[in-house]
Structure 1
Amino acid sequence: MDDSATPRGASGHTAPARPTLAAVARAAGVAASTASLAFSGSGPVSEETRARVLAVAASMGYDGPDPRARSLRRGRSGVIGVVMDERLSDAFRDPVNVLTLDGIAEVAGEAGASLLLVRSPLDDERGMGPLVDAPMDAVVLVGCNVRVDPAVAVLRRRGIPVVAIEADDIEGAVPIQLDNREGSRRAATFLRDLGHTDVTVVTLPLDATHQLGPISDARFAAGAAFTTMERLRGVRGVFPSCVAIEAGGSSVEAGRVAGESLFGPGGTRPTAVIAQSDLLAVGVISSALEHGLRVPEDVSVVGFDGIHVDDSLLHRSPIRQLTTLVQPFVQKGQAAARAALAMLEGDAPSGASFRSELRVGDTTAPPRA
């Protein structure tokens, strides 16, 4: 997002302040990241929303991001790259990624920096293409795992500062962490205190292969996804022998598929399920309801994220709110952007650690006798 300095005329008098992208976004009733994508002409923005943003911008006299961003040091592009560790077409289906990007966009926009969404290496047949030559002053990695090591090596050779959101230790990168392990441990402890002993975990993918089904010891040992493994370690700190089912991604449909293996014919039917995202939790609940089970009377379900859930199957049930771990997505993005900007200004960047909070809804209860 670009907001420029207040220009001065030849007489030295201050000219009227140039409208900012943040102001346009507020007037259009959208997030700053959505307004930026509307101007770029790409990304998951509907034509209706794009037209509204552009119309509001025109009425305010704002003709697009100003490349003369004032707050970044001279000679730089004024661009912060955001690298998603999955294909962009998939990344924007997950509200967590969108809300994190909103946090990055808010801070970057206020500083006059632009954002560049960089395709994951998975999207690029040439491998590291965009990371090699894209004009960027700093990079924020979102949803990291060990597959980004080659990308980090490229960025390090270019001398580009790196901020990593929820990643294993990456040399030279500023970490922005979430208590994935401890948060999951709290959720598991909550279920144990309710009396549950038969708990299954439905996990996010362990690596880029997106395998489906039970996670063996060998599969876990070979896992690459930091967040997935940390959340599973947290649950197994309370239920060491709990079954774990790997889902194909963070989506309602992936949760339904995992739920089918639990509640369908021949399923193990645990008394409680911990899903590693709220979207997965909604899918698991939908599958349970489709098989005639009641939530939470027959099976309790806990999610992770704290997003707004809007699923038709849940609306046709008495369920109104998930029991879930609420994470501060926007604040994570803001902290990442502040660290990136600090490095660009030559200041010492600060990492950050955030805590999730257990919010008890109406999808958990003691197991049936």
Structure 2
Amino acid sequence: MAKRSARRTSLASLAEELGVSRTTVSNAYNHPEQLSEDLRVRILDTAERLGYPGPDPAARSLRMKRVGSIGVLVTEHLAYAFEDMASVDFLAGLAEACIGFQTTLTLVPVGPTATNPSAALQLVNSAVVDGFVVYSVAKNDPYLEATHTRGLPTVVCDQPIDDNRFPFVGIDEGGAIAPAAQALVDAGHRHIGILCLRLCITDNDGLVTPERVEDAQHHVQQARVQGALRVFANAGIATHTIPIIERHTNTPEATYAAAKELLTNYPDITAILCTADTMALSAMQYAHDHGMSIPKDLSITGFDGIREARMRGIATVVQPNRAKGEYAGHTLMHMIDGEYYDDKTTLDVAFHPGTTIGPPRRR
């Protein structure tokens, strides 16, 4: 007999074929513990023979008043979520948190450039999700405001840290970078440059003014830069002599260009403090391409603790990217279940000394 198409086989017709109730068929998929193993196998075998694909997930979501997915709002292009290892680790932790909750992840990439509020609201409202994890957006970002307007359970990770409308999980960014900055000072460096990622929504690929740091909308980069400058100032280094080069997008091409700009325009620099491992890796590559030895000619520090940076010996701040994802995910799942959260959680970091810090070269 020819196999029936899935289009013609419904849950009701499958139940009729088996001589059981529709609830029993549904339980075979959604609550297998309520059936004997023999009955469940018979139902699934018959469903396969008749071409029945299983309960309609849309109908199930209507009954359960759940979609079965959580949205991850990221302010980078979609490819970034799979290429930047700090983001990959974070998403892995978030996925781990979803185990046992019968839910999926929906990535909502909004890009690094702000848009108008109506476009942001349209994109956020189109996401079919039960709640959001907002991963590192600027203060007063239109997508963050659109998420708040949507009214679903939401957890903010990394930034903004001072928005009391949402629970928060992150690290003490300014305190976390201090050991890296101090390690450069202790090695004897006084001619230091800083490479950072975007501080504001508006583009700036180049030198950073003190005013831009002070008025930054991206708390993570602002706090790392300011935390490093405090250490340097305490060591007697005039912070106005420390060049800071910014890049709006975190791509290998952009960060390599930042290292080139810094070392070309400030040849006396003996050390570079980077606010991300991606920038430190690019600085290492630029130095290698131009015959510089690390750390004999140039010392470099990073931030994030991604696997590639640690394997290449970069002195870096190791932050718990995977643990952040897990914590944010668990918090959101409990909020979706009706629990209330409004706390700010700060996770611990560690400094990995690596092999990229040495005494300054002789002038």
TM-score by length of 2: 0.77
Q: From 216, 223, 229, give the equivalent of 1:236.
A: 229
TM-superposition CA deviations, 1:50-101 (whole Å, max 9, x none): xxxxxxxxxxxxx899949999993121221100012223343311112111
Q: From 182, 192, 195, give the equivalent of 2:188.
A: 195
Superposed displacement of residue 178, structure 1: 1.3
Superposed displacement of residue 357, structure 1: 1.0
Alignment of 1:214-363 (within 5 A): 214-240=207-233, 241=239, 242-264=242-264, 266-309=265-308, 320-349=312-341, 351-363=344-356
- Distance in structure 2 (CA, Å) of the matches to 1:346 and 1:162: 12
Superposed displacement of residue 271, structure 1: 1.3
Q: Work out the number of aligned pairs and report it.
A: 313
Counterpart in 1 of 2:40?
A: 15
Contact 2:180–2:315 (8 Å) recurs in 1: no
Q: Which protein is bigger by CA-based radius of gyration? A: 2
Counterpart in 1 of 2:124?
A: 131
* 1:120 matches 2:124: no
- Distance in structure 2 (CA, Å) of the matches to 1:197 and 1:72: 63
Q: 1:280 to 1:130 in 2, by over 3 A?
A: same
Contact 1:323–1:362 (8 Å) recurs in 2: yes
Higher-helix-fraction structure: 2
Contact 1:201–1:245 (8 Å) recurs in 2: yes
Superposed displacement of residue 260, structure 1: 1.2
Counterpart in 2 of 1:178?
A: 171
Superposed displacement of residue 155, structure 1: 2.8
Contact 2:72–2:134 (8 Å) recurs in 1: yes
Secondary structure (helix, strand or coil) at the match of 1:200 reads strand
TM-superposition CA deviations, 1:271-297 (whole Å, max 9, x none): 111111111101111112222221101
Contact 1:87–1:120 (8 Å) recurs in 2: yes
- Distance in structure 2 (CA, Å) of the matches to 1:153 and 1:253: 31
Contact 2:169–2:345 (8 Å) recurs in 1: yes
- Distance in structure 2 (CA, Å) of the matches to 1:268 and 1:307: 28
Runs of at least 4 residues off by over 4 Å: 8-14, 63-66, 68-73, 121-125
Alignment of 1:76-95 (within 5 A): 76-95=66-85
Contact 1:263–1:291 (8 Å) recurs in 2: no
Secondary structure (helix, strand or coil) at the match of 2:361 reads coil
- Distance in structure 2 (CA, Å) of the matches to 1:195 and 1:65: 67
- Distance in structure 2 (CA, Å) of the matches to 1:111 and 1:209: 39
- Distance in structure 1 (CA, Å) of the matches to 2:62 and 2:135: 22
Contact 1:263–1:287 (8 Å) recurs in 2: no
Contact 2:195–2:274 (8 Å) recurs in 1: yes
Secondary structure (helix, strand or coil) at the match of 1:334 reads helix
Secondary structure (helix, strand or coil) at the match of 2:148 reads helix
Q: 1:213 to 1:153 in 2, by over 3 A?
A: closer
Alignment of 1:153-164 (within 5 A): 153-164=145-156
Contact 1:138–1:162 (8 Å) recurs in 2: yes
Secondary structure (helix, strand or coil) at the match of 2:232 reads coil
Gaps of 5+ in 1: 17-62
Amino acid paired to 1:255: T
Contact 1:69–1:78 (8 Å) recurs in 2: no
TM-superposition CA deviations, 1:284-325 (whole Å, max 9, x none): 111122222211011100011111228xxx9xxxx9411111
Counterpart in 2 of 1:143?
A: 136
Contact 2:120–2:143 (8 Å) recurs in 1: no
Amino acid paired to 2:129: M
Superposed CA RMSD in Å reads 3.3
Superposed displacement of residue 14, structure 1: 7.3
- Distance in structure 2 (CA, Å) of the matches to 1:252 and 1:119: 19
Contact 1:71–1:111 (8 Å) recurs in 2: no
Contact 2:305–2:317 (8 Å) recurs in 1: yes
- Distance in structure 1 (CA, Å) of the matches to 2:62 and 2:329: 13
Superposed displacement of residue 175, structure 1: 0.3
Gaps of 5+ in 2: 1-28, 42-52, 234-238
Q: 1:194 to 1:204 in 2, by over 3 A?
A: same
Secondary structure (helix, strand or coil) at the match of 1:270 reads coil
Secondary structure (helix, strand or coil) at the match of 1:92 reads helix
Secondary structure (helix, strand or coil) at the match of 2:278 reads helix
